[in-house]
Structures are given as C-alpha cells and as structure tokens.
C-alpha cells in the first residue's frame, strides 16, 4: 500500500478522518459518470490492507476501481476482489465494492497464457 503522504498528495482525495489503522475519504473526479463522489474507507490492520468504495446509487465501474487501486497501491502490487461462498457474504451497502491485499504476502496469479 502507498504511504499516507502519497495518498494525501492526490488532489481528488478529500480525507475526512484518520486513525492509526485507517482513513475515511472521498474521491471526486469529473472524468467519471455521475455521481462522481465516491466514499472510501481504507484500513491496514488485522493482517490485511483493505479499501472499500461506494456510491449512492450504483456500483463503481471497473475503471473506477482501477483508479482507486492506483491511488492506494503501486502499479506492480496485486490486489483482489473476493467472491466468497454465499454462506459467507457480507453486504452492508448495495453499491459497495472492496479491494484486498494480505500484508507481507504476494498473491498467486494464474499463468498469463491461461487468461
């Protein structure tokens, strides 16, 4: 995950709250379709780096999630969106998606030729 200073340096990020283990902020960028203001909660505790992204009336797009990934992590870091077993679903907001990275571990990826 990028440093707090790197994240704060993005002119489209407005930080609302900071804690020892995370932050709450908004991303507002005119390049995205309305609503443009995305609520973000980022944390780095319990062995995981985590960023949740939500909008008022729609899910974030792939491009928007890629942008969030690039704001919070480096180009060569791998983060994932999980699709857990239905019995383990947690859905606290209908238009929220999550990015995850296990701290200190490199994610296994399938061979490029399989994709």
pLDDT of residue 45: 96
Residue 1 pLDDT level (bands cut at 50, 70, 90): very high
SS3 113: helix
Predicted confidence (pLDDT) per residue in 21-75, tens digit: 999 999 987 777 677 789 999 999 999 999 999 999 999 999 999 999 999 999 9
Give residue 72's region: left, alpha or beta (phi > 0; psi -120 to 50).
Answer: alpha
d(CA 6, CA 55): 24
User: Which pTM was predicted?
Assistant: 0.91
Q: Where are the domains of the chain?
A: 4-105
With contact defined as beta carbons under 8 Å apart, do 43 and 22 qualify?
Answer: yes
Fold of domain 4-105: Streptococcus thermophilus LMG 18311 protein like (3.40.1720)
d(CA 58, CA 80): 20
Structure-block tokens of residue 7: 């994240």
How do strand 96-102 and strand 22-28 relate by DSSP bridges? Answer: unpaired
């Amino acid at each position: 995950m990028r440093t707090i200073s790197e994240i704060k340096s993005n002119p489209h990020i407005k930080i609302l709250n900071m804690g020892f283990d995370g932050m709450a902020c908004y991303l507002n960028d005119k390049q995205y379709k309305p609503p443009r203001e995305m609520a973000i909660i980022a944390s780095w505790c319990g062995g995981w780096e985590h960023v949740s992204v939500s909008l008022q009336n729609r899910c974030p797009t792939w491009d928007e999630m890629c942008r969030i990934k690039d704001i919070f992590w480096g180009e060569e870091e791998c983060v994932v969106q999980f699709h857990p077993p239905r019995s383990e679903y947690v859905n606290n907001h209908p238009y929220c998606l999550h990015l995850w990275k296990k701290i200190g571990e490199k994610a296994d990826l399938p061979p490029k030729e399989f994709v």
